[in-house]
Structure formats: C-alpha cells, structure tokens
Amino acid sequence: MSTTIIGFPRLGEFRELKFTTEKYFRKEISEEELLAAAKELRAKHWNIVKEKGITEIPSNDFSHYDNFLDAAFLFNVVPASVQNLDLSELERYFALARGYQGEKGDVRALPMKKWFNTNYHYIVPKFEKDTQVKLAGHKIFDEFQEAKELGLNTRPVLVGPFTFLQLSDFEEGVKAEDFVDSLVAAYQEVFAKLAELGATRIQLDEAALVKDLTAEEKALFLNLCNKLLADKKGLEVLLQTYFGDVRDVYADLVNLPVDAIGLDFVEGKKTLDLVKGGFPADKTLYAGIVNGKNIWRNNYEKSLAVLEQIPAENIVLTSSCSLLHVPFTTANEEFEPAILNHFAFAVEKLEELRDLDAIRNGQGAEALAANKELFATERVGENAELRARIAGLTDADYTRLPAFAEREAIQEEAFKLPALPTTTIGSFPQTKEVRAKRLAYRKGELSQEEYDAFLAETIDEWIKWQEEVGFDVLVHGEFERNDMVEYFGQNLSGYLFSKNGWVQSYGMRGVKPPIIWGDVTRLNPITVKWSSYAQSRTDKPVKGMLTGPVTILNWSFPREDISIKDSTLQIALAIKDEVLDLEAAGVKIIQIDEAALREKLPLRRSDWYEDYLDWAIPAFRLVHSTVAPDTQIHTHMCYSEFTDIIPAIDNMDADVISFEASRSNLEILDELKAKNFQTEVGPGVYDIHSPRVPNEGEIDNTIEAILAKVPSKKVWINPDCGLKTRGIPETKESLIRLVEAAKAAREKL
Ligand code: GLN
Ligand code: ZN
C-alpha cells in the first residue's frame, strides 16, 4: 500500500510563514527567528502528512519564497552582482526575489512568471555568460536531514534539469545546451550527497514535459536524461510530471532508466490512453488521481474506475500536482455540513488518497459508501431565467459597434487627452488604516456612515493628489475592496467564501479564491457608488474599475458540474450589467481587468483556441459590446507573457490595454509592432511588485524604448499593475517620477 503527494502547501494552516516572513522584512524579528519558525512549520506539516497515513513523504517542497529560485541558488545560477553583496545568504536570496535597495547595493528583482496554468508565480532565473553552474546550496540536504531527525526518510523534491532550463532566461549569447554538462554534474552531486545522507529516492519535477515539445526540446530532454541517469549515485529517481499529459515523450520515458514515473490522470487528457498502451513492469507508476488544484471532493467511483484500467503492476497513488495550489484544510471553515462535505482541501486530500488506497486493497467500504451517497444527491439547482438569457445570445451580443478605428477618433474628440496620457491601474496602497477600518466595519464596530465617510475622505485625498501631480485619467483607489475577485463575488449569487482558504500566489502572498457553488447573477450594483462619487469630485475623467469575467472565473474555484465556459458566460452577463450601470452613472472610462486571462490558456499551443480563446475572448466582448462609442473601455493584464497571444488580445476589442511589462524588459513591444497591434497600449513603465523606487531617468529610458516600437499616439504611461500592496511613500515617489517622465517625453514628441 503506497500513497504520496507531490508537495504540500508551505504557508501554513493560518499563513504563519507569511506573517513571520513579513515581520522579518520589517526587521521586527531576526533571521534566526524566521529560520526557526520555518523549521517548526516544516515539522508540523510532515507530521500531518504522516498522521494522515501517507506512506511516502516529500521534503524540500518547502520554500522561503519560491522553489524555482531555490533551485537557482542550489545550482549557483545567481548573478555576480548578488553573489557579491555583503549580505547573509538569506538576504541575498530575498534580494534576488524582491529587489534590494540599501547601502550595500541596488539589485533589481528577477522577473516572475506564472507557473504553468496556475496562479502561482515562480521567479525566473537567468543564465548569463559568466554563470558557473555548480552545486552551491544546501537547503535540500538540510531539509532531508531535518526530517530524518524526526524519524522520517523523505523523498526530496527538486525541479528537474529540463524544466529548470526550459523555464529559465538566457542572456544573449548563451543557450540551454551550453549548461547541460555542468548542470548534470551538479545534479549528480546532489544525488551523491543525498544518498550519503541516507536518502533512497529523489523526485525530479519535469512539468515542462506536458507542453508541446519541438524536436530540439525533446533532444535536449533526452540528452539531459541520458547523461544524468547514467549514474544515479544509488538513488531511485522518480520523474514526476503534472498539469497535463506527456504524449510527446511517453514512448521515451518508459525506456529511460528511471525507477518511477509520475503522471497526471486528472488534467492529462491522454494520460490514461498512454498507459493503456503499456507501462513497464520494472517501474513504479505514481498515479496522480486526486486533483491538486480544485477544492471539490474526489469522486471515488470515478477514480477507482480510472485506476482499474491502468495496467501497471506497481502503483503509488498521488495528487495530480503539488497541493500547494489548494488551501490547507476545511477544518477551520464554517460552512454547514451539507456544503462542507463537498470540499476537500490539502489535508482532506491526504485522507482521500488514503481512502482510495484502502478501497483498492479491499478495505474502506464505509468511506466508499459515504462518498457514493454524496455524489448521488443533487447539490444545487439551476437559474432558469439566466439559462434562457444565455441560450438567447447571438453573434451581435459579442460585437461592439462602431469598429475600433472609428471609436478611437470619437474618443479622441470626447476626452481631449494629451499625448502619452498618464494613469494608474486602479488601486492605491491599502494601508494598515484602510484594512483596519474595513475590518471594523465588517465586524460592526464601525457604522455604515462612519465607514463611508472614511472611504469618501480617502478618495478625496487621492483624487486631489492625482490632480496635483498631474495625472490625466484618475482612479478612485479601490480602498473599499479587499480583493479584486472576492469583492465582486460578494455581490454575485452562487458564490461562497471560505474563511481560511488561502493559496500561495507569489512570494509569501496568498489569495483566497472564492468558490463558485451555483449559477451566478449580479445581486446589486457593485462599483457604481464609489466610482461615481470619485467622478463627482473632479473635472478630470475617473476610470471605473471592474474585474473581467475570465479573471473572476480563473481566480475562483470553478464548479465541476457545468463547463468553465458556461460559468464564464454567466459571470460576463453580471459584469455587463455593471458596465452599463456605470456608464449610465456618468463614468465614461471603464477598465475591465483581465489580469488572469492567460492563466487557463491550455499548456499545449494546439489546444489554445479551440479549448479556450475561442470562448474566453468573446466572453470579454460580451461584457462591453453595448456601451456607447464615446465610452472608453480599458483592460489590464499582468503576471505573465502575452507575447504569443497578441492577436487574441486585440480581438478583445478594448480601446486601451495596460499590461505588466517592466520586469520582462518590454519584450512584448516587438510583438506589438510585428502584429500591428491596434488597441492603444500602456506597457507598465516600472515594477510595482518590489518596494524599489525607479531611479532618476529610469522611466524616461523605458518610455523611450516604448516609443521606439509603438506609435506615440497609441501609447499610455502607467505602472505595471495596481499599487495596493505598496507603501504610500514609495508609491508617491514613483508616481511623481512617472508623470514627470511622461511630461518630459511629451515635450520631445
Ligand atoms: N485594478 C486592480 C488593481 O489596481 C488590478 C489588479 C491586478 O491586475 N492584479 O489593484
Ligand atoms: Zn495587474
């Protein structure tokens, strides 16, 4: 009997790691205290996994920031500028993750990208000409030892060499192939050292194998494997994949000298077919059967039916991906049992694995019966009126008229904005005070009048400040919102909210995705009150802020009983109603954020349009198709590369789009040019994910780079993203620089 998981959430049951790390960042606790707290947390998590009856326990799935960055430090893929900083090892690590600005130096944070099709973001290491790949870290050994001292022989988890190279950046003049030998040698050193410490197995995560692979990429993978596996230093190697199937390399995988292969039977459309074609008797199959991404209970009958078809002799049951992507436990939730019974978070998924394993071994009849009963009863009814509205949609509902070029002229006339108009993405810093007031209001300690007065006052201050600094299109600051999805969900029917359902998003930050429980409709106007209030306080245009349907869907836990497309259309209609109400209230510029549009883009290019863009882009158009020509629709995107979906973005038919660009060195500009991008565009001119204030001249250079590629009449000047996570001083300083730089550039036009 064998069960395992690919990884466990790191932040802690109550996000302890986040809070402790933030204390450390604020210098309220020492490095030793942070390290001790992390150690305690790891022990707690290992014990939970063990107590739930999981037989193989992973280690090194923990991270102080990001496990991809951990691998970069392990293998010395760290720029010399950071290596030479006169700081502690941990400080250097955080410097690379978050940027560092102090008396010891000035370091920019590495870029961050979405981890495959999840809302987790990894730090992108960069291989440079003088990168010397070698074993340079010790975290993986320390954590193995730590578990061993607790009596656990764990299976260390490490990014595999192929995925490490595939997902890293390379300075011009170097390429992945240049590092194959040194990287293989370094991995083998890791193997040897782990074996010496008493490890028997290692898990190499090769999720990059679930994408479409070119012949060169496949050759690189096989070359790495052949060299690496030629000497495993006595370790058993589990080659773990997730987020899809490995159709491009399955035939090769089964012939590799690995000891075990981990496959995803949840998201892998072809996984079952692949293994049905044969699985080698000398290898163990780690069958990812419990969904590591959703929060719904596993349907045991369905899972067992899949498992029965697998011809492998040795099967270990596991999660479909790391449980990092689900909240910690349902134990701290307050839903009534009839609801709660439908949910399984990380800890409960451990129980499901144990149950499934037991049932397969002829036990667990009770668990199976209870599970069958749960799925036999109807969970939720449908909204007939809404279903009819969706059934009645025609092509015209997805088309905005007149066409973009005509609207652009109308809007130029209507708004009379200067060249290179300046704006921000919506939110301003959510200070302690803002959060405290919201909490007090929620708890009933602050009356509606008092809370409203506070919000109005805060909005007034920021409107005035934006006018003084000279912004062209203002925002109200989003002070009333906790989160860009939760805030909307709270005003939609069919949504449920967990108390502690946090999932790690980037760094120590978590998001708490709401749960789509039933059909979605708008309960009442959501943003009209504060957007129209802000507009009433100034003669400058104020942008109304909404979250788009695709993002609301992608940042929620979706239903599994209806399609994602259908859920998205329901949300799109709700947001459409909001757009029309805003417009009617005199808000003439409306931004519909689609920060997460790319998130659910299928990992295989071949599936992009059919499985996703062909309905996601129309869903966005549905939201704004009926506004007047002189209402300007903005959208905003961040956290990922959009370079490859530029035509689809143009096809959203917004009037203006802003997107995160500064951390990826504005790579996207060439593509905008190549694809003759029509939508007006504001590529972010500075990184808001770090507290670092751009230097004098830095934004000017960025604007110059933008103007070299995009016609000036299309360009907007804005930061990368919203500013709610930033402090006030750095925000104001940065934004003043932004407006100054825009004005200077305007002069030069
Ligand atoms: N309007 C949102 C904000 O400014 C956008 C956030 C996002 O793109 N993640 O906070
Ligand atoms: Zn953003």
| Ligand 2 centre distance from Cα of residue 688 (Å) | 9
The Å distance, Cα 509 to ligand 2 centre, comes to 15
Confidence band (pLDDT; 50, 70, 90) for 501? Answer: very high
Residue 322 pLDDT > 70:
yes
361-405 pLDDT, tens digit per residue, is 999 999 999 999 999 999 999 999 999 999 999 999 999 999 999
Structural tokens at position 18: 């986040």
Given a contact cutoff of 8 angstroms between Cβ atoms, the answer to whether 205 and 5 are in contact is no
What does the DSSP assignment read for 420-444? S-B---SB----HHHHHHHHHHHTT
The reply to whether ligand 1 has any atom less than 6 angstroms from the CB of 721 is: yes
Whether residue 244 has pLDDT greater than 90: yes
Query: Which ligand is nearest the CA of 481, by number?
Result: 1
Q: Distance between CA 372 and CA 351 in Å, rounded?
A: 16
Ligand 1 touching residue 156 (CB < 6 A): no
**Per-residue confidence (pLDDT) for residue 151, from 0 to 100:** 97
**What distance in angstroms lies between residue 424's CA and the mean position of ligand 1's atoms?**
10
The tokens describing 14, both together, are: 């109550």
> Is any atom of ligand 1 closer than 6 Å to the C-beta of 427?
yes
pLDDT of 103 strictly over 70: yes
**What is the CA(676)–ligand 2 centre distance, in A?**
23
Closest ligand 1 atom to residue 724 Cα is 10
Residue 209: which of 177, 266, 249, 254 has the closest Cα? Answer: 249
Residue 174 binned pLDDT confidence (cut-offs 50, 70, 90) = very high
Q: Is the pLDDT of residue 314 over 70?
A: yes
Model confidence band, residue 150 (pLDDT cutoffs 50, 70, 90): very high
The reply to whether ligand 1 has any atom less than 6 angstroms from the CB of 593 is yes
Closest ligand to the CA of 551: 1
To test the ligand 1 pocket, which listed residue (545, 550, 592, 688) has its Cβ within 8 A of the most ligand atoms?
545
Mean pLDDT (the chain, rounded): 96
595 Cβ closer than 6 Å to some ligand 1 atom = yes
- Please give the pLDDT value at position 1: 67
**371 CA distance to ligand 2 middle (Å):** 40
- The first and second tokens of residue 68, run together, are 């991809």
Q: Which ligand is nearest to the CA of 426?
A: 1
Q: Give the 3-state secondary structure of residue 600.
A: coil
Q: Which-ligand-closest: CA of 479?
A: 1
pLDDT at 641: 74
Whether residue 611 contacts residue 565, with contact meaning beta carbons closer than 8 Å, is answered with: no
The string of DSSP codes covering 20-78 is HHHHHHTTSS-HHHHHHHHHHHHHHHHHHHHHTT-SB-EES---SS-HHHHHHHHTT--
3 state DSSP class of 289: strand
286 vs 113, higher pLDDT:
286
634 lines ligand 1 (CB under 6 A): no
Atom of ligand 1 nearest to the CA of 660: 8
Residue 371: what pLDDT?
98
Residue nearest to atom 4 of ligand 1 (CA): 722
595 CA closest ligand 1 atom index: 8
pLDDT score recorded for residue 483: 86
Ligand 1 touching residue 544 (CB < 6 A): no
pLDDT of residue 188: 98
Q: How far is CA 366 from CA 346, 358, 409, 659, in A?
A: 22, 11, 68, 52
Pick the ligand that lies closest to the CA of residue 724: 1
Residue nearest to atom 9 of ligand 1 (CA): 595
Contact 520, 570 (CB under 8 A): yes
Q: Counting ligands in written order, which one lies closest to the CA of residue 659?
A: 2
Q: Distance, CA 721 to ligand 1 centroid (Å)?
A: 6
Q: Is 689 a catalytic residue?
A: yes
The reply to whether ligand 1 has any atom less than 6 angstroms from the CB of 79 is: no
Concatenated DSSP letters for 480-525?
Answer: T-S-TTHHHHTTBTTEE--SS--EEEETTEEE---EE-S---B-S-
What is the number of the ligand 1 atom nearest to the C-alpha of 427?
Answer: 4
Say how many Å lie between the CA of residue 581 and the centre of ligand 1: 21
Confidence of residue 254 (pLDDT cuts 50, 70, 90): very high
Best probe residue, ligand 1, of 121, 423, 425, 718 (max atoms within 8 Å of C-beta): 425
- Percent of the chain's residues with pLDDT above 90: 94
**Strand partners for 169:** 126
User: For ligand 1, is residue 426 a contact (CB within 6 Å)?
Assistant: yes
Report the separation in Å between the CA atom of 596 and the middle of ligand 2, taken as the mean of its atom positions: 9
Looking at ligand 1, which residue's alpha carbon is closest to its atom 10? Answer: 722
545 lines ligand 1 (CB under 6 A): yes
Average pLDDT on 100-124 reads: 91
- Identify whether 513 is preceded by a cis peptide bond (ω within 30 of 0): no
Report the chain's terminal Cα–Cα distance, integer Å.
71
Q: Which atom of ligand 1 is nearest to the CA of 591?
A: 1
Q: Which residue has the tokens 């990368």?
A: 720
- Each residue's pLDDT tens digit, 609-667: 999 999 999 999 999 999 999 999 999 998 677 888 999 999 999 999 999 988 777 77
**pLDDT at position 114, please?**
86
Q: What is the pLDDT of residue 448?
A: 97
Task: Please indicate whether residue 80 or residue 640 has the higher confidence score (pLDDT).
Answer: 80
Q: 634: Cβ–Cβ under 8 A, 6 or more apart, which residues? A: 543, 589, 590, 591, 592, 654, 655, 656, 657, 658
The confidence score (pLDDT) of residue 645 equals 93
- Ligand 1 pocket residue status of 636, Cβ below 6 Å: yes
Q: Is the CB of residue 478 below 6 angstroms from any atom belonging to ligand 1?
A: yes
Distances (CA, A) of 249 to 211, 215, 318, 535: 10, 11, 21, 57
pTM, full prediction: 0.92
Residues contacting residue 190 through CB under 8 Å, at least 6 positions apart: 74, 135, 140, 158, 202
Tell how far the Cα of 271 is from the centroid of ligand 2, in angstroms: 35
From the CB of residue 255, how many other CB atoms can be counted at a distance below 10 Å?
11
Using a 6 Å cutoff on CB, does residue 204 contact ligand 1? no
Q: How far is CA 588 from CA 62, 130, 183, 401, 584, in A?
A: 47, 52, 55, 16, 9
Give 471 Cα–ligand 1 centroid separation in angstroms: 18
Q: Which of 45, 634, 636, 689 is catalytic?
A: 689
